[in-house]
Amino acid sequence: MVNKTVVTEFLLQGFSNKRELQMLHFMAFLSLYLATLMGNLFIITSVALFPHLHTPMYFFLAVLSSVDVCFISSTVPTSMVNSLMNDNRISFAGCVSQVLFVVACASAEISLLTIMAYDRYVAICHPLQYMLIMNWDACSQMAVAALVVSLMNGVTQTANTFRLQFCWPNVVEQFFCDIPQLLRISCTDTKFNEVFNSVCVLIIGGVCSVCILISYTHIFSAVFRIQSGQGKYKAFSTCIPHLTMFSLFVFTIIFTYMRPQEMLSSYVNFFAAVLYAVLPPLMNPVIYNLRNKDIQMALRKIMCLNAT
């Protein structure tokens, strides 16, 4: 018979039972976490300090960086501590908070990437009307709407998940509390939850994907009409990485949340979670910093300030 003892804590799946591999996991995640914090905090600081970065594009980039810091901080530090202390326990309240922040931040990530694609569409296809369309009121309203809707989605999916009863063994086969793995250890019927989660993913992911597709269709159409080869290269160098990250992020979430339960695999789960919960916060600063002269100028100024 199923043991229906009330679960007060969960056990997260560790990277390995071997102490050497646990320390390797700790060092790898620590490096990724510090690199992510440095990159995103640099963007936030640069946009706040330098007036030439007070534009809609950098405003959304700073908001995205803030979400990325929250996103990776909700999962990776707990996993690092568990590996370091050789203790995979997480409290029920801690698990609830992880699910809330992961879902809310993932929703905010995809929403902000969609808004940034629209910003690029207006800048490339309607440059003369850019400041009229992307005024500060419109930018702030879009950012607030994205964050509020994302928070509502997080609260709704978290409440829907933790209305279930959970059974022993209470092992979550992931390095953080994720909804598909929590449904797997529930001792109540999860059909409604599975359908509800799929609908939420389809609505948010579908709407954002359609908006992205429309925006980039117009963007690429406009880029191909540019006579200058350098102008085409500049446009593609900013759009292609953004589109690549968005596609990877969306497809990984769809794969994680909408695949059948029998397709769950611990190794695939771990890899997929890294792709959508760790890689985007790490790569976003890299994508938007490498060839961005404004950001590079801000970096040099910050380094000069630190040197003095």
The larger pLDDT score, comparing residue 306 to residue 12, is at 12
Q: Could you say which of 1.10.10.10, 3.40.50.300, 1.20.1070.10, 1.10.3720.10 is the CATH number of the domain covering 9-307?
A: 1.20.1070.10
Contacts of residue 100, defined as CB under 8 A and 6 or more positions apart, other chains included, come to 154, 155, 158
What pLDDT score was predicted for residue 1? 43
The residue written with tokens 């998940």 in the block is: 161
Partner residues linked to 186 by β-bridges: 166
The larger pLDDT score, comparing residue 73 to residue 86, is at 73
The larger pLDDT score, comparing residue 9 to residue 30, is at 30
Tell me which residue of 69, 2, 79 sits closest to 36, measured CA to CA: 69
Q: By the 8 A CB rule, do 79 and 29 touch? A: yes
From residue 99, give the alpha-carbon distance in Å to each of 171, 198, 290, 300.
15, 16, 32, 38
From residue 173, give the alpha-carbon distance in Å to each of 3, 30, 178, 203, 299.
19, 21, 9, 27, 40
The string of DSSP codes covering 140-173 is: HHHHHHHHHHHHHHHHHHHHHHTTS-B-SS-EES
What pLDDT score was predicted for residue 283? 86
Tell me which residue of 258, 163, 280, 252 sits closest to 203, measured CA to CA: 258
Range of lowest pLDDT (28-32, 60-64, 269-273): 269-273
Per-residue model confidence as pLDDT tens digits over 179-190? 988 988 888 888
Per-residue model confidence as pLDDT tens digits over 229-255? 666 676 666 677 778 778 888 888 877
Per-residue model confidence as pLDDT tens digits over 36-80? 999 899 889 888 888 888 889 889 999 999 999 999 999 999 999
Say yes or no to pLDDT of 192 above 70: yes
Q: By the 8 A CB rule, do 71 and 120 touch? A: no
Q: By the 8 A CB rule, do 288 and 43 touch? A: yes
